[in-house]
């Protein structure tokens, strides 16, 4: 699951950087992103991670699963080193070690248990949250730069957090019929689609650091709290401090890793854009090289097309 989300983060951010920036809450952005093969591969990785996370939520508390989803950024950093030749400074190595330690602490603190089912009031709350997030995203899409990345990334995290809350009791369905008829399934799908759109808009605003950090914080914290209060998430007795420390260390490590990964990611995208522009410029220059060779009858046409009159000489 962590590896799948790590691949998804890297590939989708690259595809979002190559797509025309949208300043409106336009679902058509998902279709434009889908035209990039890189995005489709990243989306496949994200769906794979989502399925694995969904199965994990059947018995594991949300504070562990959501922190593991956020930890996928550590895999993104390692992939950047191996594939895109990013540098791996000592501080980033330390952050990766802290990330591994935080996840280990959460694994040791989490007590597996089936979820408690949500009542009608909780279903209404999830539906209302979907409308609030969508309306807020409509206005946040007009923001530019880092503020837009933070606002849209936070809203994306809230949408994914609501999807995680819906997935925890849904994963305990005892039959396919009960699974399909459960309204949580459709709330899960709706929140996931809105979150995906908001994440794409956030990554286009130029600050992957702000987008990912805001998304991870807004996605992990509310789900963890709701899971402990409403969904029967449990911590082994006497290990509450270990869960708290592990959760905070994991989120802090993820935020730190985004600060190192963003400049290197932007440089990699800039190099590829420069390569494409140079190739396009060379193709555009080739016809221009042949035009001076035209002599004789074509010269008056050239003069007429430029609006200039040829100077005449007397012999």
Q: What is the DSSP letter of 61?
A: -
How many residues in the chain?
A: 315
Show me where the domains of the chain are located: 1-265
CA angle 300, 301, 303 (to 5 degrees): 65
User: Could you state, in chain order, the average pLDDT of each consecutive group of 10 residues for the chain (315 residues)?
Assistant: 78 63 57 71 84 90 89 75 71 83 92 92 95 92 80 91 94 90 95 88 68 79 92 93 92 74 49 49 50 45 39 40
pLDDT of residue 263: 46
Q: Report the alpha-carbon angle 131-258-225, nearest 5.
A: 45
Q: Which two tokens stand for residue 106?
A: 């959460």
Q: For tokens 């522009």, name the residue.
A: 277
**pLDDT score for 239:** 93
Q: What is the pLDDT of residue 253?
A: 84
Looking at residue 277, its pLDDT comes to 47
d(CA 154, CA 159): 9
C-alpha closest to that of 35 among 8, 57, 58, 16: 16
Report how far apart, in Å, the C-alpha atoms of 16 and of each of 74, 77, 82, 146 are. Answer: 20, 18, 21, 15
Two tokens, residue 188: 């899960």
As a whole number of angstroms, the distance between CA 116 and CA 209 comes to 35
pLDDT at 71: 81
How far apart CA 74 and CA 270 sit, in angstroms, is 22
- Partnered with residue 110 across adjacent β-strands are 235
111 φ/ψ angles, rounded to the nearest 5 degrees: -105, 115
**Cβ–Cβ under 8 Å, residues 188 and 161:** no
CA 300, chain centre distance (Å):
57
């Amino acid at each position: 699951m962590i590896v799948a989300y790590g691949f998804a983060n890297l590939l989708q951010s690259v595809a979002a950087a190559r797509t025309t920036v949208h300043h409106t809450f336009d679902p058509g952005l998902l279709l434009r992103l889908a035209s990039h093969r890189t995005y489709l591969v990243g989306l496949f990785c994200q769906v794979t991670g989502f399925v694995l996370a969904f199965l994990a939520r059947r018995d594991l508390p949300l504070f562990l699963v959501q922190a593991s989803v956020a930890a996928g950024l550590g895999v993104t950093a390692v992939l950047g080193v191996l594939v895109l030749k990013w540098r791996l400074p000592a501080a980033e190595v330390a952050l990766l070690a802290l990330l591994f330690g935080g996840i280990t602490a959460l694994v040791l603190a989490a007590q597996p248990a089936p979820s408690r089912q949500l009542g009608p009031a909780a279903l209404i709350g999830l539906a209302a949250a979907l409308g609030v997030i969508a309306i807020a995203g409509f206005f946040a899409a007009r923001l530019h730069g880092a503020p837009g990345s933070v606002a849209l990334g936070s809203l994306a995290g809230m949408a994914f957090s609501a999807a995680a809350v819906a997935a925890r009791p849904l994963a305990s369905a005892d039959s396919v019929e009960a699974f399909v008829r459960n309204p949580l399934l459709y709330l899960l799908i709706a929140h996931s689609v809105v979150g995906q759109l908001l994440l794409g808009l956030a990554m286009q605003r130029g600050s992957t650091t702000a987008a990912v950090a805001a998304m991870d914080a807004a996605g992990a914290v509310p789900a963890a709290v709701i899971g402990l209060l409403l969904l029967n998430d449990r911590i082994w007795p006497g290990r509450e401090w270990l869960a708290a420390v592990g959760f905070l260390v994991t989120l802090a490590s993820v935020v730190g890793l985004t600060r190192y990964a963003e400049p290197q990611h932007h440089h990699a995208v800039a190099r590829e854009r420069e390569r494409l522009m140079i190739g396009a410029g060379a193709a555009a220059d080739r016809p221009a090289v042949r035009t001076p060779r035209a002599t004789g009858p074509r010269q008056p046409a050239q003069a007429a097309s430029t609006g200039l009159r040829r100077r005449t000489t007397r012999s």
